Every structure is written in structure tokens, then in C-alpha cells.
Amino acid sequence: MRTELSRRLGMECALFGFTPFPAVAAAISRAGGLGVLGAVRYRDPGELARDLDWLDAHTDGRPYGLDVVMPAASAAGAAGVTEADVEALIPAGHRRFVTDTLARHGVPPLPEGERTRWRITGWLEDVARTQLDVAFDHPLALVANALGPPPRDVIDRAHRHGTLVAALAGSARHARRHAEAGVDIVVAQGYEAGGHTGEIATMVLTPEVVRAVDPLPVLAAGGIGSGEQVVAALALGAQGVWLGSVWLTTEEAALRSRALTAKLLAAGSGDTVRSRALTGKPARQLRTAWTDAWDDPAGPGPLPMPLQGLLVAEALTRIQEHEVEALLGTPVGQVVGTMTAVRPVRAVVDDLTRGFERAVARLNRVAGDP
């Protein structure tokens, strides 16, 4: 399961694993892939520096990366906008809708002194730049941007640091734009994926992107959770796969909410919805009473990014803290239907590797038939 790109990065297998959990990222790298830590949840540079120091000490010298969010434009329409500036743009009617929805489901307030864990400050470019100031003090193999290519000066800085730059794309048109901007790797993220996605399924999108950006390497993402699907991605021209959802139910993830873990393990592939309820951009997540409320035409509808994320941050923390089952959800892809047990990261990687070997053997038998 090695490709030209994985060899270039010193990986044993072409598995790129996105996760918000440092322990998962480290375990993916130790297992032979490349763990990519999501930075969007970090409030201040000190927290990120602490976790990157931990990764340096727990990856056994294996490569790892960081995923940041640098939107193409701010909500206020100008660079340098602050979180306070953005919050001031949230309409009072939307705030009342959040309050009424929580009250209807009996969600208590946060305990005294409890911090808002879901505070989504990382949607602002200035925050992402501060995160990268910290990150480039560490031996990053990869920096990925979840919302298209980073600004040119960020790409140049990464290259001076010896770090490759990846950007996610939901269409061939976006992928070509990424290539023109100077990124090194394009992640073709299909409709099935958890989190922000476009309208095109992975099976269609991957070869379109491969053709659009050749000779740049492409990673396939969305709906991939088995070794057989990894083989399919490579057959479509990808040089690896980008996996996110499959790590949510690993032992290293240690989700605080047992109720959320139970919901993930019980969910089928049809139990997700692509909704703007979380961030303001379409993102695949578990379908809940919370997503239903925001998608109801009778409601006010979600705000654009990053307003929606700031609006619902405290509400999401309250829902999670009190494990209000009807409202409890998380970004996750359609592959959730295959996530039926809590397992270590190493077991997930071993299953992917064995499935890959089985699929290659099967294809070799087919190719050998007269």
C-alpha cells in the first residue's frame, strides 16, 4: 500500500488520517500512515504548541501534519476581522432560535466555570496564521487547508520549511485552482465524506481531479473505510487516501460522551445529513433533532460561515456536556455504517492493510484469467 507520494513522505502505507485528537494522530503515524491533527478547535497558540510538543515525543520520529482552516473571505468582507467583529453580525432572531431550541429539549446551562469546548475560532484567517506561527517550529511533513488553497505567502513559507501543502477540493474546477495556487497535493473529497463536502461522489470526483491536476498527486477522500476501497482509490489514479470518520470510534479518540460513541456505533450509512447547521457551510454529520431544526424551512436557517459556528458554539457544548441524546451529533461520513466497534488505531490500520491485500489478490486472479 505504498505509492510515490507515501515514499516521498517516509510513510509505510498511503493512509493520511485527519483527526482532532493528538493521540489518534500519533497512533496513525506510528502505524505507518500520516496523522494530520485538526487545528480548528485550538483557542490559543499555547494549547497547540503543547500538543505539537506531545506529538513530537510520541510519533517515534514518523511524519505527521496539521490541518488548518483559512477561509477565502471573512464574514465582514475584510482581512483582519476579529471574533468580536464577527459576533456583532449575528442577528438577535437567530440567538432566540438557539435559546428556544435548547429550552424545547430541556438542555441545562453549562456548569459554573465550564469552558465552551466547541468555540470555533479557527474559522478566521488571523487565527490560522497564528497557529502556523507555532506549527512551523515543529517538523511538519504536511500542512492541509480544509477550505481551498492557503494564501500564496503561506504556501511559500511552508515550502521554505520543507513542508508539503495540501488543499481539499470538491470539484475538478476547484482542484485546478488549487494547482494554480501552488499546492503540492489535492485531496478530492467526495459527497460521502464527513465534514465539509461538495456535490460530487468520490467515485466520480477522484478521476476527474486526477486528470485536472496531473502530475500533482491526488488523495481520495469520502466513503473510504476498507482496504478494498483503498485499492479502488488507487485504481482511479489517487496516490493515497484521506480518512477521517473511521478514527472517531478508536480507543485513542476517547470521546468524552459515551452517548455519542453509542450513537456512532449504532448509526447506519443513511443516518447522516449534509447540513449547514454546524458551521454555515454544507457539512455531513449525524442527523439529529438539532440538524432537523436548522434545516426546517419554518426556522431562520443557518447563517454563513463563520457566523453560524460562533452562534452555536456554546449550545453545542451544552448539548455535549449534558449528553442530550436527541440533539447530540458530530461531523461524520456515510462510512459510519461500518463503524460498529471501538478498536485501537492499529487494528483499524491492520484491517485496511489486510483488505488491501485481499483486493489486490482478487484483482490479480481476475487479470490472470484467460
What are the cell numbers at 235? 485504481
What are the cell numbers at 55? 506529538
Which amino acid would we find at residue 254? A
pLDDT in the model for residue 111: 81
How far apart (Å, rounded) are the C-alpha atoms in residues 5 and 303?
Answer: 39
What are the cell numbers at 189? 473529497
Q: Name every residue whose Cβ is closer than 8 Å to that of residue 243 and which is 6 or more positions away in sequence.
A: 15, 16, 17, 18, 221, 224, 225
* Residue 79 scores a pLDDT above 70: no
Q: To which residue does cell 507520494 refer?
A: 5
For 37, counting Cβ atoms within 10 Å of its Cβ (0-12 exposed, 13-18 middle, 19+ buried), the class is buried
| Reported pTM | 0.91
Cα→Cα distances 248→18, 76, 187, 329, 343, Å: 10, 34, 20, 12, 10
Give mean pLDDT, residues 226-235.
98
The total of other beta-carbon atoms located within 10 Å of residue 50's CB is 13
Tens-place pLDDT, residues 55-70 = 999 999 999 999 998 8
pLDDT in the model for residue 100: 97
pLDDT in the model for residue 220: 98
Count how many residues are written for the chain: 370
Instruction: Share the mean pLDDT of the chain.
Output: 92
Cis, bond preceding 207 (omega within 30 deg of 0): no
pLDDT level of residue 199 (50, 70, 90 thresholds): very high
pLDDT in the model for residue 299: 94
How far apart (Å, rounded) are the C-alpha atoms in residues 368 and 370?
Answer: 6
Annotate 14-30 with three-state secondary structure: CEEEEECCHHHHHHHHH
196: helix, strand or coil: strand
pLDDT level of residue 71 (50, 70, 90 thresholds): low
* Residue 77 scores a pLDDT above 60: no
Best CA proximity match to 166, nearest among 186, 146, 151, 139: 186
pLDDT in the model for residue 110: 86
* Residue 76 scores a pLDDT above 60: no
For 88, counting Cβ atoms within 10 Å of its Cβ (0-12 exposed, 13-18 middle, 19+ buried), the class is exposed
Tens-place pLDDT, residues 313-345 = 899 999 998 999 999 999 999 999 999 999 999
Question: By percentage, how much of the chain surpasses pLDDT 90?
Answer: 80
Cα→Cα distances 222→110, 163, 219, 243, 343, Å: 34, 24, 10, 7, 21
pLDDT in the model for residue 370: 55
User: What separation, in Å, do the N-terminal and C-terminal C-alpha atoms of the chain show?
Assistant: 27
How far apart (Å, rounded) are the C-alpha atoms in residues 275 and 283?
Answer: 5
pLDDT level of residue 82 (50, 70, 90 thresholds): low
Give mean pLDDT, residues 149-165.
95
The values of phi and psi at residue 36, to 5°, are -120, 110
Helix boundaries (H) for 77-147: 83-87, 92-104, 125-135
